[in-house]
Structure 1
Amino acid sequence: MRNHAGDGLQQPSLVELAADSLRRRILGGDLKPGERLKEEQLTEELGISRPPLREAMRLLEQEGLITKLPRYGAQVVSLTAHDIWELLTLRQSLEVLALTLAMPVSEEGLAEPRQLLADMETCAKDNSRAGMVDAGFQFHLSLVGLAGHSRISAVYRSLQAQLQLCMAVNTEASHEPLPDNVARHRQLLDAIATGDLALALAALNDHGHGAYLEARRADS
């Protein structure tokens, strides 16, 4: 790798790699909500110095995955029942609007959601919770994208990290088998594929309502 002065390539790469590693640990449940992030330990585990680690943590703070407390340091965000309610109701509203604009959806339009559902099946077989959380978000983002409405997609994408954290906490606490999680998403996609808007919205409501109830149980 080039190491020319002013190259500017190595440092961002270290920051991105560190941020990605921490993000996957949080979403995969290795780093628990409320867990303190100790710089000395993380620099050793990630093999980097403190400056890129701190920059990576700043990025995750902007994403809403970690928070910094005075005289304590950084810790993984803990979502309250109200936080979860806000996130899931906002997600539901955006998805209802997107599907209302998108329906009926062509077979070509369903290709990406179906591929992402296949990715979720692979994650379930590999028992990868972090992978499932990421693929699950991408699946829902692809459904929103069916509307062809760039601003709805942009708003939805801006919530990515917080929604993924909500999904991760929900999946971990509910003890739902990953194949069952895939099955719930398949039922939603099958309803959309019928071209019946009322049926698709009913399936979306059931899907979101189930996620909300599981998340509420997780916080109680």
Structure 2
Amino acid sequence: MTKQYGLRSAARESLDSSAADVLRQAILSSQIAQNSRLTEQQLSDELNVSRGTIRAALHQLATEGLVVRRPFSGWNVMSLTSHDAWELSTLRASLEGLGARITAETLDAAKRRTILAAWERLSETTQAADISIGAVNRADIAFHKAVIDLAGHSRLSEQYQLVGQQVLLCIASSTVLQVNHNHIQSRHKALVDAILEGGPSQAEEAFTKHCLESGAEIIAHLRKEETAQ
């Protein structure tokens, strides 16, 4: 069988979850391009699972904002516009600013270790000999999510989980943030210093500014592509 999407089969232990994981990774790594049509039967054949399992996985990805079901045409990978990028960056800035403030307010030795470990994983990923853009982006989001989760605010973490997947999709559509990994390191070292040494207000300001500036780069890139079309 010819594989249209080039996907590996889903693991047996939890088919719905595994199928969603495989599809999510393919979308976020641009293995399946934005706006691609997703056929349940083709995905079922490639992943060696039932169409019901594929349907459940697609519904899960729809809740994460990665795919959309269009009337009379089926499923498509979400295609993000510059306006989408603006919405995501401003929402993300609000969520991360709040998370960074709360985490800084409740900072202790264990939280310090967690933040530093997340920062070190990101740093190691950017310096790997076989560097992967997808891996860097995932480590980038993982660092920010660690700060959010350390706030101990479950509803904030839930909302950020949804935004985080769409942010990765947004980054995957742009090459702007994928060319200078030393720049990624320096930006995030500044965030580490702000939250560990600067206090709640400085942490909130640093994370908010970071999200808005990163978002502005993606927005500008997408607007340029939209103008060229």
* Aligned residue identity for 2:220: R
Distance 1:122 1:29, change over 3 A: farther
* CA-CA distance at 1:65 after TM superposition: 0.5
Instruction: Give the Cα–Cα distance (whole angstroms) in 1 for the partners of residues 159 and 63 of structure 2.
Output: 15
Residue 167 of structure 2 corresponds to residue 163 of structure 1: yes
Q: Report the equivalent of 2:140.
A: 136
1:1-220 alignment to 2 at 5 Å?
13-104=14-105, 105-124=107-126, 125=128, 126-170=130-174, 172-220=175-223
Shift of 1:99: 2.7
Kindly state the Cα deviation for residue 211 of structure 1 after the two structures are TM-superposed. Answer: 0.9
SS in 1 for 2:76: strand
Give the CA deviation at 1:174: 4.0
Which residue identity is paired with 1:68?
R
CA-to-aligned-CA distance 1:144-199 (integer Å, 9 cap, x gap): 233333333333234332233234334x4544334432332222112222234454
Matching residue's letter, 2:183: D
Partner Cα separation in structure 2 for residue 205 and residue 100 of structure 1: 10
Q: CA deviation at 1:11?
A: 7.4
Distance 1:85 1:102 in 2: 25
Equivalent position amino acid for 1:53 in 2: I
Letter in 1 for 2:161: R
Worse-matched range after superposition: 95-104 or 78-87: 95-104
Identity %: 33
Equivalent residue pairs, number: 210
Secondary structure of 1:67's counterpart equals strand
Q: Which amino acid aligns with 1:55?
A: A
Q: TM-score, normalised by structure 2?
A: 0.78
| TM score, norm. by length of structure 1 | 0.80
Counterpart CA distance in 2 for 1:148 and 1:205 is 19
Q: Secondary structure at the match of 2:173?
A: helix
Q: Give secondary structure in 2 for the equivalent of 1:74.
A: strand
Amino acid at match of 1:118: E
Given that 1:123 and 1:129 are in contact with CA atoms closer than 8 Å, whether structure 2 keeps it comes out as: no
Deviation at 1:131?
2.9
Conserved in 2, the CA contact under 8 Å of 1:192 and 1:199? yes
Task: Check 1:39–1:83 CA distance in 2 against 1; reply closer, same or farther (3 A cut).
Answer: same
Deviation, 1:96, is 1.8
RMSD of aligned alpha carbons = 2.6
**Distance verdict in 2 for CA 1:62–1:148, change over 3 Å:** closer
Runs of 5+ consecutive residues of structure 1 not aligned to the other structure: 1-9
> Relative to structure 1, is the Cα distance of residues 179 and 56 closer, same or farther in structure 2, using a 3 angstrom cutoff?
farther
